[in-house]
């Protein structure tokens, strides 16, 4: 039983790492379609993924705001158009090649009340792929490509029925690198 749980965590970590480390390569299993604004080759890009469990499985509970003054993109359920190994991904889009990129993340109720929130700031570099993977659960996803993780308690979660932490993994890789 423990092995099955560990393998499940590795699969989740692997699918999150695909977003954080640049998404699927040619020949990997995907469903859905890519966002219509496919980035130029060599561009600095950003992509997000979400793997919610139990009462947090619904993508409508996730809010991601990329950038501040100006906001580059607000990611919501409709933006997660690609699934990699069963985990919804936003599709990769271009961001500036230099500077900082603040990203606000929130898990909300159907009524819009905030359950968990955090801010991650990326130091942008030209020709890099930046990623953010969100996972709800009781244990941090593991794996060599899971990236740095921020653990945010989910307010009011019932530990007997639901995940109690929003894990936010963030990473950056040069274009062409494989994790």
Q: Does residue 169 lie within any of the structural domains?
A: yes
Give 77-87 pLDDT, tens digit per residue.
Answer: 888 877 767 78
Burial of residue 143 (CB within 10 Å: 0-12, 13-18, 19+) is: middle
Tokens matching residue 130: 């930046």
Q: What pTM was computed for the model?
A: 0.75
Tokens matching residue 3: 């092995």
DSSP tag of 70? S
Give 125-137 pLDDT, tens digit per residue.
Answer: 999 999 999 999 8
Q: Does residue 109 lie within any of the structural domains?
A: yes
- Per the structure, the complete domain to which residue 79 belongs is given by 2-23+44-174
Torsion of CA 166, 167, 170, 175, to 10 degrees: -100
Average pLDDT of the chain? Answer: 77
Of all helices (H) and strands (E), which one includes residue 63? Answer: strand 62-66
Q: Does residue 117 lie within any of the structural domains?
A: yes
């Amino acid at each position: 039983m423990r092995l099955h749980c560990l393998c499940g965590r590795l699969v989740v970590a692997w699918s999150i790492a695909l977003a954080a480390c640049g998404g699927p390569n040619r020949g990997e299993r995907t469903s859905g379609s890519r966002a219509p604004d496919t980035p130029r080759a060599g561009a600095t890009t950003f992509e997000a993924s979400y793997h919610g469990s139990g009462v947090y499985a619904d993508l409508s509970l996730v809010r991601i705001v990329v950038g501040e003054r100006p906001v580059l993109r607000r990611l919501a359920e409709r933006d997660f158009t690609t699934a990699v190994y069963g985990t919804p991904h936003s599709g990769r889009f271009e961001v500036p090649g230099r500077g900082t990129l603040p990203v606000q993340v929130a898990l909300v109720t159907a009524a819009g009340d905030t359950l968990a929130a955090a801010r991650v700031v990326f130091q942008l570099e030209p020709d890099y792929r930046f990623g953010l993977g969100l996972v709800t659960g009781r244990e941090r996803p593991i794996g060599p490509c899971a990236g740095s993780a921020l653990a945010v308690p989910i307010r009011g979660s019932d530990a007997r029925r639901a995940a109690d932490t929003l894990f936010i993994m963030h990473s950056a890789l040069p274009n062409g690198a494989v994790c």
